[in-house]
């Protein structure tokens, strides 16, 4: 039987509306989706009622995220009363996890596409135009979308994401990401630098390099490959690791701030931290998820480090960059976690003085090693109480951390107005702390020095004392 090739209908008047959920990678992927669809005649719109195609780019990391998306789909289905030709698609991690089930459940969805099949979206939409429903959830070992120019959606024109790799090889027992985003593969560094330069030329002032585990980034002459020790000598000599990539970006755009996320503690190393210390435009901030402060729990989480090992990483970072901001992820009530082990997590937070943390109750995800091999046996009320204690302690530490900057000067990139007043600017310090100060004559995109005068749990408040520069001091 000959292959049937469906040519997507290119109609300039068709409108695309995208909603993104979950991590920064999803928001970055939505910009790739907009680029692909734009090349096939779909103009992006911010009005769902004006859309001919609606895509929800989804998260599957916790059950409540999926339930929220299901409720949203029920609402969007009502839009078909106004536009009978409306096409609704679920993309991303939830699509990859549930696959055909999404087409079967209550007929809420017309298109299902996983994170590695976005190039196929115009064809999938064309299949729906022909009267069917369409799905592609094949994972890839090569796809990085590195050749595409993302469409910056809902951009403030100041900050932007740059994806440097896809997938994850760290099989943490609680995590669904390796199953929804596939194996790790790194993007060609030259394409990354080109994208960073393009953003700089367009006036952007800060970029965040994105990956599930950026520190394991590795590119060699013939293509992406995971383990450095398995490369030939010639491949090792021509390889680019994450520290090399940071240096390439830092030297390419010396007046642009550069951040990155996320780091796995196992892969952060001195070379990366020394590179950060070397370049003024590499922000002194690392997101370093611990997940737990107890070694036994870390072991059954398959994190491949101990409490003491994690603490040594913190010591290493702060010995090289004393004022480095460090944030964390914490899971409360993981399988079989005892009260004493919960106390170990609290003591780690107390010791580490994280700038802030993302804190969650453990949510069992179907298909993960934890769901298959461990028992989710911590009662819901115990999980909630432990999470409340974690949040209370972290809030206290965050306030202390912010208060420690009172009387000091921090460098802040203005991103927009404060939520509470258009008379104040909001931006983030080098250490990623939200900073608020009066507008005066400064504007969005300015890099300014701010004297911190007071602090809350979530922000530092002060007064700008002049413009700042990222160029090296003589």
Residue 85 sits in a domain whose CATH number is 3.40.50.12160
DSSP state of 330: E
Distance CA(127)–CA(134), nearest Å, equals 6
Is there a domain that residue 204 lies in?
yes
Q: Which of 136, 167, 189 is the last residue of a domain?
A: 136
| 182 contacts 139 by C-beta, under 8 angstroms | yes
Is there a domain that residue 473 lies in?
no
Cβ burial, residue 467 (10 Å; 0-12/13-18/19+):
exposed
Query: 182 and 86 in one domain?
Result: no
Query: 424 and 343 in one domain?
Result: no
- Domain hosting residue 98, numbered range: 15-136
Strands, DSSP E only, in 348-444? 357-361, 409-417, 424-429, 434-438
Distance CA(191)–CA(210), nearest Å, equals 14
Q: Which of 379, 403, 427 is the last residue of a domain?
A: 403
Query: 340 and 245 in one domain?
Result: yes
Query: 198 and 81 in one domain?
Result: no
Phi, psi at 136, each rounded to 5°? -150, 110
Whole-number pLDDT of residue 163: 96
Whole-number pLDDT of residue 278: 97
Whole-number pLDDT of residue 416: 96
Phi, psi at 448, each rounded to 5°? -130, 155
Count of residues making up the chain: 474
Is there a domain that residue 154 lies in?
no
User: How many domains does the chain fold into?
Assistant: 3
Is there a domain that residue 399 lies in?
yes
Strands, DSSP E only, in 52-124? 53-58, 87-92, 111-113
Cβ burial, residue 24 (10 Å; 0-12/13-18/19+):
middle
Whole-number pLDDT of residue 223: 63
Between the alpha carbon of residue 130 and those of residues 6, 7, 123, 125, the distances in Å are 9, 11, 11, 9
Whole-number pLDDT of residue 35: 96
Query: 458 and 353 in one domain?
Result: no
Query: 132 and 192 in one domain?
Result: no
Query: 424 and 392 in one domain?
Result: no
Whole-number pLDDT of residue 445: 97
Distance CA(3)–CA(5), nearest Å, equals 6
Pairing of strands 460-467, 134-136: unpaired
Sheet bearing 43-44, strands edge to edge: 43-44, 15-20, 53-58, 87-92, 111-113, 134-136
Pairing of strands 257-261, 206-210: parallel
The whole-model pTM stands at: 0.91
Query: 458 and 350 in one domain?
Result: no
Is there a domain that residue 191 lies in?
yes
Query: 233 and 90 in one domain?
Result: no
Radius of gyration, CA atoms only, the chain: 23
Query: 328 and 188 in one domain?
Result: yes
Query: 439 and 338 in one domain?
Result: no
| 385 contacts 346 by C-beta, under 8 angstroms | no
Query: 329 and 186 in one domain?
Result: yes
Is there a domain that residue 6 lies in?
no
Which CATH number is 426's domain given? 2.40.50.140
Is there a domain that residue 386 lies in?
yes
Max distance between CA atoms of the chain, in angstroms, equals 75
DSSP state of 22: S
What parts of the chain have a pLDDT lower than 70?
Answer: 1-12, 106, 222-226, 473-474
Q: Which of 403, 435, 455 is the last residue of a domain?
A: 403
The DSSP secondary structure of 258-319, one letter per residue, reads: EEEE---TTT--HHHHHHHHH-TTB-SEEE---B-S-HHHHHHTT----HHHHHHHHHHHHH
Whole-number pLDDT of residue 9: 40
Is there a domain that residue 281 lies in?
yes
């Amino acid at each position: 039987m000959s292959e049937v090739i469906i040519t997507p209908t290119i109609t300039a008047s068709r409108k695309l509306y995208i909603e993104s959920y979950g991590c920064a990678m999803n928001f970055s992927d939505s910009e790739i989706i907009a680029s692909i669809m734009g090349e096939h005649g779909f103009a992006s719109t911010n009005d769902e009622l004006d859309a001919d195609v609606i895509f929800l780019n989804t998260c599957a990391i916790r059950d409540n995220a999926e339930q929220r998306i299901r409720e949203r789909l029920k609402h969007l289905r009502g839009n078909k009363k106004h536009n009978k030709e409306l096409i609704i698609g679920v993309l991303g991690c939830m699509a990859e996890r549930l696959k055909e089930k999404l087409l079967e459940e209550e007929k809420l969805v017309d298109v299902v596409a996983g994170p590695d099949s976005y190039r196929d979206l115009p064809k999938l939409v064309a299949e729906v135009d022909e009267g069917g429903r369409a799905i592609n959830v094949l994972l890839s070992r090569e796809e990085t979308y590195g050749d595409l120019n993302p469409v910056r959606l809902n951009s403030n024109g100041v900050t932007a994401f740059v994806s440097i790799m896809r997938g994850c090889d760290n099989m943490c027992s609680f995590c669904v990401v390796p199953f929804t985003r596939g194996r790790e593969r790194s993007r060609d560094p030259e394409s990354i630098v080109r994208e960073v330069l393009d953003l700089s030329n367009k006036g952007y002032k800060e970029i965040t390099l994105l990956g599930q585990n950026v520190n394991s980034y590795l590119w060699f002459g013939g293509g992406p490959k995971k383990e450095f020790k398995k490369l030939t000598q010639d491949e090792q000599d021509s390889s680019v690791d994450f520290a090399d990539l940071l240096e390439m970006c830092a030297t390419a755009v010396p007046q642009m701030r550069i951040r990155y996320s996320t780091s796995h503690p196992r892969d952060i190393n001195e070379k990366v931290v020394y590179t950060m210390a070397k370049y003024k435009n590499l922000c002194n901030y690392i997101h370093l998820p611990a997940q737990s402060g107890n070694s036994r729990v870390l072991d059954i989480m398959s994190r491949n480090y101990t409490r003491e090992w994690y603490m040594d990483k913190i010591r290493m970072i702060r010995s090289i960059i004393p004022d480095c901001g460090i944030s964390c992820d914490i899971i409360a009530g993981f399988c079989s976690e005892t009260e004493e082990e919960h106390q170990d997590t609290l003591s780690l937070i107390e010791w580490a003085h994280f700038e802030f943390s993302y804190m969650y109750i453990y949510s069992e995800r179907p298909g993960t090693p934890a769901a298959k091999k461990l028992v989710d046996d911590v009662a819901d009320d115990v999980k909630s109480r432990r999470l409340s204690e974690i949040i209370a302690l972290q809030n206290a530490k965050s306030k202390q951390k912010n208060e420690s900057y009172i009387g000091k000067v921090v460098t802040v990139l203005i991103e927009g107005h404060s939520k509470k007043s258009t008379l104040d600017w909001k931006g983030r310090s080098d250490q990623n702390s939200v900073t608020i100060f009066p507008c005066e004559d400064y504007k969005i995109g300015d890099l300014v020095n701010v004297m911190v005068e007071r602090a809350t749990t979530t922000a530092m408040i002060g007064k700008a004392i002049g413009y700042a520069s990222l160029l090296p001091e003589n």
